[in-house]
Structure 1
Amino acid sequence: MLATASPPPAGAYLRGVGIAAPPNRYTKAECLAAFEKSGWFSRLDTRSHFIARTVLQRDNGIEARRLAIDSLDDVFSIDPNTLAQRFLRHAPTLAAEAAKKALFESGLESADIGAVVVSTCTGYLCPGLSGYVVERLGLRADVQAFDLVGQGCAAALPNLQLGRALLAANACEHVLSVCVEVCSAAMYLDNDPGVLISACLFGDGAGAAILSCKPVASQRQIEWIDSTSLINPIERKALMFESRDGMLRNVLTRAVPALAATDAHRVLETVLRRADLHTTDVSTWIMHAGGRDVLLALERELPISVHDLRYSKAILREYGNLSSAFVYFVLDAALRGQAPAGWWWLSSFGAGFSCHGALLRAGP
């Protein structure tokens, strides 16, 4: 009896991208003014006042952020119940909005989605966010649903890697990938410089993408070629959330820009070597920003030009650091900006310390 050959592994193509952010836009000048009149200003010391003013008055690469609050006064209501309710109210809404846009761009119907993967680090729900996305998009009851938590700013790539694996295993034909962060629901203030700087950098938003096993002739083809990851637990304490007083407290250290740049370079070299490519072969860079200092470190280490990071810089300036959702915004900007055909590099890094990268091939 002849053995039946198994079907070849499916490909993976980015078929639709969607982004969502709260409607309220706040400039860094407005944030500083709100901080100075808040009750928190008097609770923090003179050094903290200096740090906040330095970050919010100088060019830190960020001009504005979108926050899921009705007034900047609300952001200084910092207690576990208020923050948990903020996450519950806004995370499902933002996730579903981004997912609906991605679904529309893909040309698919809700019933076509065979799996959904949702990542977040700024709040916890049980049942998880995936159930809210399933409900709001009207996905099938038998859809495979996965909730990934605790991967911080780096989560977009592990999310997409899981989607790629599901396609390769012929488990489904279309995967919905969603990253959503309500950073205003993870607000914490004290006199630690890293905590204060974090409060000045992060915004709220969600990104989504559809990964499909086959391309569509009528759409621009963005093919997932290869990816890899680097996890460095020794540097875990360089960037992480810790639980304090029932809330998430962000630990941010000076080592982060150098760590991000070094690990991003190692991940890039690994994948390019396998593809027999060089840095100069990459036409478009879709990079998580972290902040201005991280982008400067990336320019020095990779090395790439200021122009190469134009999409990341534009998103950082207008939205701030969106944690895991950030690279979806950069990918959306590259697609809308008609980035040139050829090799694209998608990379994210964050808590762990972890770094991930993926090589994409973009058609004309």
Structure 2
Amino acid sequence: MNVMKSTGKFRDESLDFQKKILERSGFGEGTYAPTSLLKTPPNVCLAEARKETESVVIGAIAELLSRTKVKAEEIGIVVTNCCVFNPTPSLSAMVVNHYKLRDNVVSYNLSGMGCSAGLISIELAKQLLQVRPNSYALIVSTENINDGLYFGNNRSMLVSNCLFRMGGAAILLSNLTSDSHRSKYCLKHIVRTHKGSQNHCYNSIIQEEDDDNITGVTLSKNIMSSAGQTLKANISTLGKYVLPFSEQLRFVTNFVAKKLFFKVRVIKSFTPNFMLAFEHFCIHTGGKAVQDEMQKVLGLSDWHMEPSRMTLYRYGNTSSSSVWYELAYCEAQGRVKKGDRIWQIAFGSGFKCNSVVWCALRTIDPTKEKNLWSEFSTHVTN
């Protein structure tokens, strides 16, 4: 397949490059792509992009409402997020229209904020719930593959073609006292870090035209250094809220020593042991290289990385929804016990690193609460 779209075509070397990226991606054979891209040639248009998003979003919400027994008319807040697909009317309006939500529903649609927008949506919903008592907030995180496909031959832009897969998640937050007995988790902390003031971070992921005027998303060589810099700032702030005092003291001592003896190279940076603060880690499935680096930096065990690696293998990088696939994996494996602490962390264009911390309000019994991983739970090493 050479001709992909009237505005561009892949050269043989570009096809070979994408094949190599896919072979190293950590993806399995069961990930999902929209049917519009499986045709020859692919049918890339606004109608198909909208159809792709509707199938994911409406399906996720329908399953959520069925499980929680919450009626659509009870929802007072809707927050949707999708980075590259920004139609008119918005995705939040699409949800309101499909479920015929009430006239005074508060709705927001976040776009262009990258893979960490799902966690930004959590913070926005939290703030809205603080001023709207006795409410339900519906959050929907997804990405659009049809609208984000690049048809040129710039290698920095071709990488994004290989990274993402079709998927989405719907989450329901409540501030009703009556829901405390049946809720799964309590929101404890949200830490957002934004390095967009620095040009190399801002330009590390950017949508632009190539030399042939074909639009795509450029992933620069600075992306890993930007991620590392932003991660360091994020965990430095998060540590104050979650780490034992002994770990905080060691971190501060190391920081002061490095400042006082900055010319002495033997003083290495101290990374706190976050396994003392959390039982479960939901690290965004940005790719195998990102996972490897996160495991190394945070000193995590293979067991703690398993939800992220299994999500990447089975479902691919579903962008902002991936951290929810990972939490569902922990539930399906019977890992989540009452009182457990969960850390969700994701990176996004801008450049951003966002963290959300949850505490399990009850033990999740995988035999009673099925999810997308249930059919695989018996085939995965626990």
Give TM-score scaled by structure 2 length: 0.77
Q: Which moved more, 1:275-284 or 1:317-326?
A: 275-284
For 1:317-356, what per-residue CA distance to the aligned partner results, in whole angstroms no more than 9, with x for missing partners? Answer: 1222112222222222223333333111011111101110
In structure 2, do the counterparts of structure 1 residues 142 and 243 end up closer, same or farther at CA, with 3 Å as the change threshold?
farther
Q: Give the Å deviation of 1:74.
A: 4.7
Q: Which has the larger radius of gyration?
A: 2
Partner of 1:326: 322
CA contact (8 A) 2:9 2:151 kept: no
Query: Residue 73 in 1 paired to residue 36 in 2?
Result: no
Distance 2:11 2:54 in 1: 37
Aligned counterpart, 1:189 = 151
Q: What is the CA–CA distance in structure 2 between the aligned matches of 1:308 and 1:75, rounded to whole Å?
A: 41
Using the TM superposition, give the Cα deviation of residue 46 of structure 1 relative to its aligned residue in structure 2, in angstroms: 5.2
Q: Is the 8 A contact 1:115 1:145 kept in 2?
A: yes
Conserved in 1, the CA contact under 8 Å of 2:208 and 2:216? yes
Residue 241 of structure 1: how far off its partner (Å): 2.1
CA RMSD of the aligned region, Å? 2.5
1:39 aligns with 2:39: no
Residue identity matched to 1:359: V
Residue identity matched to 1:226 = H
Contact in 1 for aligned 2:76/2:136 (Cα 8 Å)? yes
- Equivalent position SS for 2:84: coil
* SS of aligned partner of 1:126: coil
Q: Pick the aligned partner of 1:254 from 213, 221, 224.
A: 221
Which among 210, 214, 228 is matched to residue 191 of structure 2? 228
For 2:60, give the aligned amino acid. Answer: A
1:253 is displaced (CA, Å) by 2.4
Contact 2:148 2:216 in 1 (8 A): yes
Taking a change above 3 Å as real, the CA distance of residues 346 and 99 of structure 1, as seen in their structure-2 partners, is same
Per the alignment, residue 63 of structure 1 pairs with 28
- Looking at structure 2, the residues matched to 60 and 209 of structure 1 have their Cα atoms a distance apart, in angstroms, of 28
Partner-residue secondary structure (3-state), 2:279: strand
- In 2, Cα distance between the equivalents of 1:239 and 1:336? 34
Confirm or deny that 1:347 pairs with 2:345: yes
Higher relative contact order (CA 8 A, sep 6+): 1
Q: Does 1:54 align with 2:20?
A: yes
Q: 1:159 to 1:146 in 2, by over 3 A?
A: same
Residue from 300, 305, 309 that aligns with 2:305: 309
Task: Report deviation, 1:75.
Answer: 6.5
User: For 1:294, what is the secondary structure of its paired residue?
Assistant: helix
The structure with the largest strand share of the pair is 1
Q: Distance in 2 between matches of 1:243 and 1:150?
A: 16
State the secondary structure of the residue aligned to 2:50: helix
Determine if the alignment matches structure 1 residue 157 to structure 2 residue 125. Answer: no
Unaligned runs of 5+ in 2: 245-272, 364-382
Equivalent position to 2:182, from 215, 219, 222? 219
Q: Residues of 2 paired with 1:339 and 1:194: CA distance?
A: 39
Deviation at 1:254, TM superposition (A): 3.2
Whether contact under 8 Å (1:261, 1:302) holds in the other structure is: no
Distance 1:190 1:71 in 2: 16
Q: Aligned to 1:190, what secondary structure does the other structure show?
A: coil
The separation in 2 between residues aligned to 1:159 and 1:75, in whole angstroms, is 36
CA distance in 1, matches of 2:49, 2:306: 31
After TM superposition, give the deviation of residue 40 of structure 1 in Å. Answer: 5.1
**1:180 aligns to 2:180 (yes or no):** no
Q: Which moved more, 1:251-260 or 1:206-215?
A: 251-260
Partner of 2:45: helix, strand, or coil? helix
Q: Is the 1:223–1:362 Cα contact (8 Å) retained in structure 2?
A: yes
Moved more, 187-196 or 284-293: 187-196
Instruction: From the superposition, tell whether residues 255 and 338 of structure 1 become closer, same or farther in structure 2 (CA, over 3 Å).
Output: farther
Residues 76-130 of structure 1: CA deviation (Å, up to 9, x unaligned): 45xxxx3322222221332121122222222311122110001112212222111
SS of equivalent residue, structure 1 residue 309: helix
Using structure 1 for the length normalisation, give the TM-score.
Answer: 0.81
Aligned-partner Cα distance in 2 for 1:71–1:157: 29
Identity %: 21
Q: Which amino acid in the other structure matches residue 170 of structure 2?
A: A
Partner of 1:129: 91
Across the two proteins, how many residue pairs are aligned to each other?
A: 323
Deviation string 1:264-293 (CA, Å, 9 cap, x unpaired) is 343234223123445122101112111000
**Superposition deviation, residue 189 in structure 1:** 2.6
Offset of residue 214 of structure 1? 4.0
Mark the CA change 1:348 to 1:71 in structure 2 (over 3 Å): closer, same or farther. Answer: closer
Is there any run of 5+ residues in structure 1 with no aligned partner, and where?
Answer: 1-36
Distance 2:214 2:48 in 1: 13
